[in-house]
Chain A
Amino acid sequence: MSAQSDELTVRDRVEQRPAFSLGKVREATPRELIIRFLAGAATSIASGAVTLVFGPRVGGILLGFPAIMAASLTLIAEQEDITEAREDARGAIVGACALTLFAAVAALTFGHLPGGVVLLISTVVWAAAAVLAYVVLWWR
């Protein structure tokens, strides 16, 4: 059976339990880290520059630019395989929906709560929404 026909679809639940491996983190090469740093730095500077020219609302659009994803998916597809990159992207659909919720919560609460509290609440909402959606949609 080919790898493609074995591939899960977005509707399939995932049997493997989530786990974290420090060994896999140590496999990251300096080249990968530099590519990711440059992707993040370039997006942040672009967002800041657009804000200076067109204002914070337009510049804010770039805060949702897929900087990590664009760099990571290309590296995963090159170094592991396309199937793994496609699985990463399926998870990122849910992660990005949660990121939109992060932005909405931040937009609604800035000015009403201290800034640090807004960022903390928004980040907790993002993480909780992403993990909850993963469990509901894909936990077997």
Chain B
Amino acid sequence: MHDVVILAIKGLAGGTLVVAFALLSQGLEPKRFAGLFSAAPAVALAGLTVTLLDKGAHDAHQSAAGMIAGGVGMAVYAAAIIPLLRRMRPAAASIAAISVWTVVAAIVAVPLLAA
């Protein structure tokens, strides 16, 4: 039951922070500057805060170390979707780029998980 409550709190906090950063990004011009905030650590801030309060600094440290792989994957996702958006419909481009994120994050995660 405790785990379900924690997941619900993470979901609520993550969704709320993503909306907040997305609104900030929407209000900014030019679009390239707004894009900085499309990669804001919204989910990370929510997840790490709840982990910190629930499990403590050790688990938050472990989560942050794993997040390095996701962050590298996100940078490659953003670079990959630029040409994909010219060749595919937006939803298809996003799905293809998420595949790229998955592969890159997995490759970078191998040494991080072994460490």
Contacts and interface: CB of A to CB of B under 8 A. Distances in A.
Interface string B21-56: 111111111111111111111111111111110010
B7 A37 contact: no
Contacts of B24: 25
Contacts of B33: 14, 18, 91, 134
| Chain B interface, >50% SS class | helix
How many interface residues does chain B have, given as a range? 35 or more
Nearest to A62: B70
Contacts of A89: 35, 38, 78-79, 81-82, 85
Interface size class of A (residues with CB under 8 A): 35 or more
Interface in B48-102: 48-52, 55, 57-75, 77-79, 81-82, 85-86, 90-91, 93-94, 97-98, 101
B73 A64 contact: yes
Interface in A52-105: 52, 55-74, 76-78, 82, 84-104
B112 interface: yes
Contacts of A47: 10, 43, 47
Interface of A: 4, 8, 10, 14, 16, 18-22, 24-25, 27-28, 32-33, 36-45, 47-49, 51-52, 55-74, 76-78, 82, 84-104, 106-107, 110-111, 115, 118-119, 122-123, 126, 130-131, 134, 138
